């Protein structure tokens, strides 16, 4: 099916360059299949098709690539922000086309530079990056352009009943970004060493307003998902005020930190400006582990911020984590008790437990000893290393293998009931198939915090 659909699209557009965006591992197979079809079309039709690949999966998982076989399917591999790297490739391809068409001319065009681009040359991977080439400033970039996309052909997906997951996939949102990177960029489980997190650069409000109006005109829809790593409070305040002042009616949501700057007044302003939902990382509701994570917030603070949003009918979804290095069963159960109380006090509507993963570009992955764990170094495959991102680790303080999985099943069981307004009086131990300690959290902690 991929081959048939792609070939039909190719015949209509006759491109010289194919761009393959691979944001997630699930997109990789389709991209490689398209690259293979391009190679077959090139041979059959005696044409030249240049295949360029980039995207989030490339940026996080292929930074140590040494397996040359990937270049059987692509010609260029671009890392981090792709605007300038792709522009340079297009300039190079344009020069080649001019040279081929200028049959009477013997002069060749000047070679163009490169920026964070890998190619295969003489059977080896060559990493090209010209010293004088720089990225395009985020503030000068135009917004997303949806012209040409047949938006009515896209289907909704009911992935799971969790309301937040339905918000992600059960309908189409106009995707926009307010700021490049994260203004906090300190969480120890996050890829803060990479450019897409580490380089923070917000857009101007007047620029964002113009982009929003352009997208509405292009798509005919007024639903927006701001896909920031963590939307900055000051920028959201200015944007909300400007949307209200200009009487621009949109519905929007996005991800943020439960930062103390999100006061009840700001939550009310955002709601008036069309905000219907926020997502944010509560991670581990344990003071000691929160310090290890360097989240920059306290449980009490997060509860107050959550309540500020729910009080103004803004849907709140929290990301939760278990299995962080040196995290004890006691801390895990105490986290569950905090989560229970947050639901009881209507501080949030839904959540999701993630098991901690040590990634290659996070502070934990880069300095495992600092967090009390060991990361065994696997032997590199004979053909060369392909992807490396999630790194298995050994926690000397952890219990038997499989223990975290058993804890995770109980955590998810409890959370599923809490999201449906059930089980708030059920003893925490009843959710688990293994013995767990009693919580040490005061039963009215969140209620007293809110008061």
pLDDT tens-digit readout, 126-158: 999 998 999 999 989 989 999 988 888 888 877
Mean pLDDT over residues 229-258, rounded? 97
Averaged pLDDT score across all residues of the chain:
93
Mean pLDDT over residues 214-240, rounded? 96
**214 vs 104, more confident:** 214
Mean pLDDT over residues 357-362, rounded? 95
For strand 17-21 and strand 50-54, is the pairing parallel, antiparallel, or unpaired? parallel
**Which SS3 state, helix, strand or coil, does residue 394 take?**
strand
In order of 151, 217, 249, 426, the CA distances from 221 in angstroms are 10, 8, 11, 44
* Right CATH for 138-450 from 3.40.30.10, 3.40.50.720, 3.40.50.300, 3.20.20.70: 3.20.20.70
Q: What is the pLDDT of residue 103?
A: 58
Give the distance, in angstroms, between the CA of residue 59 and the centroid of all CA atoms in the same chain. 12
Backbone angles phi, psi at 372, to 5 degrees: 75, 20
| Domain range list for the chain | 2-128, 138-450
For strand 275-283 and strand 251-256, is the pairing parallel, antiparallel, or unpaired? parallel
For residue 97, name the pLDDT band (cuts at 50, 70, 90).
Answer: confident
Backbone angles phi, psi at 317, to 5 degrees: -120, 135
Per-residue pLDDT tens digits for 252-307: 999 999 999 999 999 999 999 999 999 999 998 888 999 999 999 899 999 999 99
**68 vs 98, more confident:** 68
**Does the structure show a pLDDT above 60 at 174?**
yes
**Does the structure show a pLDDT above 90 at 171?**
no
Q: What is the pLDDT of residue 378?
A: 81
Both tokens assigned to 310:
């729910």
Q: What is the pLDDT of residue 108?
A: 53
**Does the structure show a pLDDT above 70 at 374?**
yes
SS3 assignment for 286-329: CHHHHHHHCCCCCHHHHHHHHHHHHCCCCEEEEEEEECCCCCCH
**Does the structure show a pLDDT above 60 at 109?**
no
Fold of 2-128: Rossmann fold (3.40.50)
Percent of the chain with pLDDT over 90: 81
């Amino acid at each position: 099916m991929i081959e048939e659909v792609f070939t039909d699209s190719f015949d209509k557009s006759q491109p010289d360059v194919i761009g393959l965006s691979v944001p997630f591992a699930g997109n990789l197979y389709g991209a490689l299949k398209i690259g293979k079809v391009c190679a077959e079309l090139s041979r059959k039709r005696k044409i030249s098709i240049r295949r360029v690949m980039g995207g989030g999966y490339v940026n996080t998982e292929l930074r140590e690539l040494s397996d040359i076989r990937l270049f059987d399917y692509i010609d260029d591999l671009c890392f981090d922000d792709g605007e300038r790297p792709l522009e340079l490739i297009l300039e190079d391809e344009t020069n080649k086309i001019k040279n081929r068409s200028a049959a009477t001319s013997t002069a060749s065009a000047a070679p163009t530079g490169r920026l964070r681009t890998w190619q295969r040359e003489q059977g080896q991977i060559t990493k090209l990056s010209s010293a004088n080439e720089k990225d395009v400033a985020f503030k000068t970039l135009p917004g997303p352009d949806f012209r040409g996309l047949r938006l009515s052909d896209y289907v909704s997906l009911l992935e799971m009943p969790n309301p937040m997951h339905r918000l992600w996939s059960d309908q189409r949102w106009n995707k926009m970004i307010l700021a490049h990177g994260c203004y906090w960029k300190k969480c120890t489980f996050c890829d803060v060493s990479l450019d897409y997190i580490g380089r923070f650069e917000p857009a101007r409000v007047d620029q964002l307003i113009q982009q929003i109006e352009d997208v509405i005109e292009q798509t005919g829809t007024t639903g927006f998902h701001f896909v920031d790593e963590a939307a900055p409070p000051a920028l959201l305040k200015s944007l909300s005020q400007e949307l209200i002042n200009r009487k621009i009616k949109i519905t929007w949501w996005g991800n943020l930190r439960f930062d103390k700057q999100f006061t009840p007044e700001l939550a009310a302003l955002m709601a008036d400006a069309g905000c219907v939902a926020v997502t944010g990382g509560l991670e581990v509701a344990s003071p000691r582990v929160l310090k290890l994570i360097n989240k920059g917030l306290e449980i009490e603070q997060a509860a107050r911020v959550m309540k500020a949003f729910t009080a103004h009918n803004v849907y709140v979804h929290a990301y939760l984590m278990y299995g962080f290095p040196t995290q004890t069963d006691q801390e895990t159960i105490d986290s569950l008790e905090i989560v229970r109380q947050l639901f009881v006090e209507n501080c949030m509507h839904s959540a999701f437990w993630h098991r901690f993963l040590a990634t290659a570009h996070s502070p934990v992955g880069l300095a495992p000893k600092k967090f009390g764990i060991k990361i065994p170094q696997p032997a590199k495959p004979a053909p060369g290393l392909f992807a490396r991102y999630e790194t298995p680790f050994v926690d000397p303080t952890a219990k038997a293998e499989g223990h975290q999985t058993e804890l995770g099943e109980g955590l998810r069981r409890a959370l599923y009931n809490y999201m449906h307004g059930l089980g708030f009086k059920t003893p925490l131990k009843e959710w688990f198939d293994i013995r767990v300690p009693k919580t040490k959290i005061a039963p009215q902690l969140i209620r007293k915090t809110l008061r």
